[in-house]
A and B are shown apart, each in its own frame.
Chain A
Amino acid sequence: MFTHWIVKPGAPQYIWALAVLGDFLIMGGALFFLLRMVPSRFRKTLVAAVTFLAGLIYSVEFFVPPDPATGENFLTSFAQKTVTDVVLVLSTFALGLGIYSLLRFHGRNLARRRAGWHNSLALYFAFFAMLLSGFWTMMGKSPAASNTYDMLFRGLVAAPGATMFSIIAFYIVSAAYRAFRIRSGEATLMLAAAFVVMLGSVPIGEYLTSGLPTTGFLSNFRMENVNLWILKEPNMAAWRGISFGVEIGALAMALRTWLSLERGSFFEREL
């Protein structure tokens, strides 16, 4: 409507914003009106049809043989470029839901002065500081903007992220200490494998068997080679065994979802 006939490329951004809003209200309103007329007994069918049609895009793209010259079929560029972009855009619009929920939760904490409300205040502060400094960097190249953004990103996002990641090192120690006991055959087996692999992956473990030759039969018993063998042979085979089952489970689930045969989660409810 507005964005097609009235406003042309090159118009100021605020005019565009108004045009987009106008179109959204008119077309979205019309669609909403149409959807409201759908009788409730057809709603499930409509959702199932949308699900099925959406599923056709990637599956047909995969199974229809490509043109040998380009390696693409009639759907490839639509499926891989347009649809991918649409999904990205849609999920970014959905991000608003999450952020709204987060801010609502902490807003209530603040409004009711619940215990720990000052933490909610800090959350609000960090949110707006990060958001605004981000937008500041988009408005021209000012060193103050990029410095502020960099400062907040490093101090409030990167540093706690890296620390949270590294905290696993502590937990891995306590988990290993507690779980690796020779209680049962299974636990002992797990312990043995973990023990050898841990020893084989650090210099001190390699040092233990550094007396063995680097070639020939005995070299197989060097710590680093034992380690590598465990990871490449038994570990790889077991991994494959589990992954085949998991992938078939996922395939079956995808099939049920696509054909709206799934039960459980949120497929039960009357619409």
Chain B
Amino acid sequence: METENRSRELTTTDRILRAFERLQHIDRRVMYALLAVVVAVPLIWNFKQPVVVTWPVQGAYDTIEKMPADKLAIIDIVWDSGTVAESRPQTEALIRHLMLRNKKFAIVAFMPQGNKLAYDSAKRIGSELGKEYGKDWIHWGYRPGGAMIQFMMGLGRDIPGTVKSDIEGKPVTSYPIMKGIKSIKNGDVGVIAEVTPSGTLDYWIAYVYGSYRTPLIYCPTAVMAPEGYNPLDAGQIKGMLTGMKGAAEYESLLGRQDFATRAAGALSTSHLLIIVLIIAGNIGYISSRRRRSES
């Protein structure tokens, strides 16, 4: 009976404040469940969401657009299955762009798993767009990470002599795509794009850009992105795709909505969830403080 009496005495504001106060103590399991939902939903259902193309991504896109058709682009794969959700969309967006514009490119991998995953991606997009292996694109295969610097310096002087054979073990000179490709020094490489979760960009800058000024594109994971801004400022790299978000912006430039666009949606929703929860927590906090000061 007593509680009923008390509740009758409550003013309306008091009741509202009490309701809001609960927002202070949302159970963590509820928050975890909400996070799982807001991450999964955009991955399953594609919904339209705004994508703003930032200048580092635009720079990467323009660099590939401007590459002369007689030159070769190199996509350097330094990722493996651990970062597949971020690195594969970046790789696929670049491959698709190069194939759409009829530009020749070569893939080279320094990670065994990434080697195969990138090969599968290129084969799939190639068959979708009617591109022929060996004529429109080539995969130079896997090289151990320890040999990276020697390999890069070798490309500078002599590409066929350094690469020797492709992923299928055939000599690269037997493919039409390699006709007339001699070395980076000779100006045969138009763009080098590196997709990586680790800090290997410095090697390309030191051993290739430093000597031959070949345009570089950097595709790091979100964790590594801060390290890219220095060389970007200094003009050592022409463009950068930051994790899933960068890949999503690139997809929008290509007029597509593939995995990265959905993943970027999930990034937005998960960040929004945190922001909403912080606001809710503060509403609860302020209400309880108000109520305490009133009583």
Contacts and interface: CB of A to CB of B under 8 A. Distances in A.
Interface stretch (B10-18, B128-136, B153-161, B262-270): B262-270
B198 interface: no
Contacts of B26: 177
Contact of B248 (A177, A180, A182, A203): A203
A176 B50 contact: no
A228 interface: yes
B265 to A, nearest CB: 8
B254 interface: no
Interface stretch (A13-21, A82-90, A109-117, A205-213): A205-213
B258 to A, nearest CB: 15
A198 B245 contact: no
A182 B277 CA distance: 14
Interface stretch (A167-175, A244-252, A258-266): A167-175
A199 B271 contact: yes
B31 A202 contact: no
B285 A202 contact: no
Contacts, number: 88
Interface magnitude class on chain B: 35 or more
Given A176-B278, A231-B226, A162 B82 contact: yes
Contact of B35 (A173, A178, A183, A210): A173
Nearest to A198: B271
B275 interface: yes
Q: Is the interface of A mostly helix, strand, loop or mixed?
A: helix
B49 A204 contact: yes
Contact of B245 (A158, A182, A202, A231): A202
Contacts of A147: none
Interface stretch (B51-59, B96-104, B200-208): B51-59
Interface string A182-205: 110000000100010011011111
| A-B pairs, 5 with minimum CB distance | A204-B268, A207-B50, A206-B52, A177-B277, A174-B28
Interface of B: 26, 28, 31-32, 35, 39, 49-52, 54-55, 81-82, 226, 229, 245, 248-249, 264-265, 267-268, 270-275, 277-278, 280-282, 285-286
